[in-house]
A and B are shown apart, each in its own frame.
Chain A
Amino acid sequence: MDPETSDDQLLAAFLGGDQGAFDTLMRRHEDRIFGLALRMTGNRADALDATQDAFVAAFRKARTFKGTSAFSTWLYRIGINACHDLLRKKSKLVPTEEIDPGAMPDNMAEDVGLRMDLALALQDLNPDYRQAVLMHDLGGFPYEDIAVLTGVHVGTVKSRISRGRKKLAEMLEQRGAPAASNQTT
């Protein structure tokens, strides 16, 4: 596997019949998708389900990828949709926290309660806001990419993100897990 091969090249190879290219793409992006799913569902079992669903969907839809956005953006949205579908199927995903000795106890954001609350809050958030927030804040995708992918103006993306964050902050505060950061540095 050549680490220099771009996503686009791998995708082209895959569409040209190289099954191994899909494996490579999967390996490249699976942690990110899993991280997204874990953030959204709050538990590993559902996160693994959603990750699996996402890659199966990507495989099936590979031909429809137009290249107007980056492959990783496109895949990320498939991941969000997979989580969303899982949500719908299960009507509500209940984050079940596992006591993880590997978790970083010093990091407030890793606090068990906050992680669960965040997952629940995300599930309750307006889907448009949620998609925008996840893609930008969690996925790190630029506004332009998100705009192209979701078919709206950059301004709309920005306002969705801002409103989504505010709503999340409200919900988190209501649950008693203040997300407001006192840090200014």
Chain B
Amino acid sequence: MTQMTHEDVSALLRSYAEDGLGKDQRARVQDHLGSCAECRAELGVVTALMAAPARPMDDLERAALHQAVRTEIALAQAPRMQRWGRRLAPALGAAAILAVIAVGIVSLDRDAIQPGRQVEAPAGTTNDEQAEEQQLDDGEDGTTATSQAAADSAGGSGGGSAGTTSSGKAARNSGSVPAAGGALQGSQLDSELNRDRAGVTIVRRSFASARFDPGNLVAIAGDLAAGPSAESDAGSDTQALYATGRAGPWRATVARCIERTVSASPLELTATSATVYRHEDIVVITFVWVDDSRALNYEVRGWRNRDCDRPSPIYRRGRVP
């Protein structure tokens, strides 16, 4: 049997380790290894590297990863607030649209600014743009489940804010202070508050402006099992779920998860939008909000078995300046 050189053996080690060599080559490699400590050491490294990792991602980690990837991509494409009037092509459907909405909704309505709160206008926003964005019809089109804070007025002053729900039922009604540059002012403009059956406020929004497709303004309950188009498509079937109430118990679950998270968040999380993702028994929700420096932040949380009473850890988080 001709001797193999170190180089020859080295080049075959991986195949050898996964038992992919023919009998003859295998024997020759073995023969070399028998008397070569260096090559045995190399083989040891190869074997260690090839060993399976401890535990692959579980379903929650996986779903959170998907959401985070989509969200990060979408947010990076969301316009800066000062350019928020510019049309934005949706990048990945739901997350992008909601992010745009998040930024758009955080528009400044100067009429609704509470006295004493300084609010700065987004640079470059003209009065015309503001006026146009103020045309928010209360139409039939989709609902966006958001945290109450998005619709809260300047809650800091405690009360009497326009647009606040009258019955203050949801825990997070009180004390949710808008985080984004004071821009989350409640106003008649950007919200009409509805109670859904679960007792959580769902903010209903629609836009008359041609810039936003009303068909996309829905809280997305994507279903992994249905395949990619259902997840990333912000459109018809998910809208139908909410419009017709076919979402049934899931809708209540989702609403509860959102409510509990926002009310319990030590950060005074004032999510302006939430993208919901469900598959079998897990729900993954991405919260998107704007911080004081107008960066877009997100957190991905998830629940199993509809157990929204258990606080969810934050699976993924990020910030897009």
Task: Give me the interface of A with B, judged by CB distance under 8 Å.
Answer: 1, 19-21, 23-24, 26, 30-31, 34-35, 38-39, 44, 48, 51-52, 55-56, 59-60, 98, 100, 102-104, 107, 109-110, 114-115, 118, 133-134, 136-138, 140, 143, 158, 161-162, 165-166, 168-169, 172-173, 178-185
Q: A34-B53, A179-B48 are known contacts. Are A52 and B316 too (CB-CB below 8 A)?
A: yes
The distance in angstroms between the C-alpha atoms of A48 and B51, with both chains bound, is: 19
Q: Which of B37, B46, B233 has the most CB of A within 10 A?
A: B46
Distance in Å: Cβ of A146 to nearest Cβ of chain B: 12
Q: Which of A51, A110, A166 contacts B65 (CB 8 A)?
A: A51
Please name the residue on chain B nearest to A179 by beta carbon: B44
Q: For chain B, residues 211 to 269, give those with C-beta under 8 angstroms from any C-beta of chain A.
A: 227-229, 231-233
Please name the residue on chain A nearest to B31 by beta carbon: A184
Q: Which residues of B contact A185 (CB under 8 A)?
A: 30
Q: Are A24 and B14 in contact (CB under 8 A)?
A: no
Q: Are A165 and B42 in contact (CB under 8 A)?
A: yes
The distance in angstroms between the C-alpha atoms of A34 and B47, with both chains bound, is: 18
Q: Are B40 and A39 in contact (CB under 8 A)?
A: no
Q: Are B232 and A23 in contact (CB under 8 A)?
A: yes
Give a binary string over B61-80; 1 marks a CB under 8 Å from any A CB, 0 the rest.
11001101100110000000
Interface of A is mostly: helix
Q: Are B42 and A30 in contact (CB under 8 A)?
A: no
The distance in angstroms between the C-alpha atoms of A151 and B179, with both chains bound, is: 49
Please name the residue on chain A nearest to B14 by beta carbon: A137
The distance in angstroms between the C-alpha atoms of A21 and B229, with both chains bound, is: 9
Q: Which residues of B contact A179 (CB under 8 A)?
A: 41, 44-45, 48
Give a binary string over B16-50; 1 marks a CB under 8 Å from any A CB, 0 the rest.
00000000000000100110011011111111111
Q: Are A109 and B62 in contact (CB under 8 A)?
A: no
The distance in angstroms between the C-alpha atoms of A168 and B48, with both chains bound, is: 11
- B11 beta carbon closer than 8 Å to chain A: yes
The distance in angstroms between the C-alpha atoms of A51 and B65, with both chains bound, is: 8
Q: For chain B, residues 65 to 103, give those with C-beta under 8 angstroms from any C-beta of chain A.
A: 65-66, 68-69, 72-73, 91-93
Q: Are A180 and B44 in contact (CB under 8 A)?
A: yes
Q: Which residues of B contact A24 (CB under 8 A)?
A: 228
Distance in Å: Cβ of A53 to nearest Cβ of chain B: 9
Distance in Å: Cβ of A59 to nearest Cβ of chain B: 5
Q: Are B53 and A181 in contact (CB under 8 A)?
A: no
The distance in angstroms between the C-alpha atoms of A75 and B50, with both chains bound, is: 19
Q: Are A20 and B41 in contact (CB under 8 A)?
A: no
Identify 9 new A-B residue pairs, CB closer than 8 A, beyond the known A30-B65, A31-B57. A1-B228, A20-B229, A23-B231, A35-B52, A102-B55, A158-B10, A162-B42, A168-B45, A181-B44
Can you offer 22 A-B residue contacts whose CB atoms are under 8 A? A35-B56, A48-B57, A55-B69, A59-B69, A60-B73, A102-B54, A102-B55, A109-B50, A133-B49, A140-B14, A162-B7, A165-B41, A165-B46, A166-B42, A169-B42, A172-B44, A179-B45, A180-B44, A181-B41, A181-B43, A181-B44, A183-B47
Q: Are B53 and A184 in contact (CB under 8 A)?
A: no
Q: Are A26 and B66 in contact (CB under 8 A)?
A: yes
Q: A26-B66, A109-B47, A115-B54 are known contacts. Are A166 and B41 too (CB-CB below 8 A)?
A: yes
Q: Which residues of A contact B316 (CB under 8 A)?
A: 48, 52
Q: Which residues of A contact B50 (CB under 8 A)?
A: 109, 137-138
Please name the residue on chain A nearest to B46 by beta carbon: A137
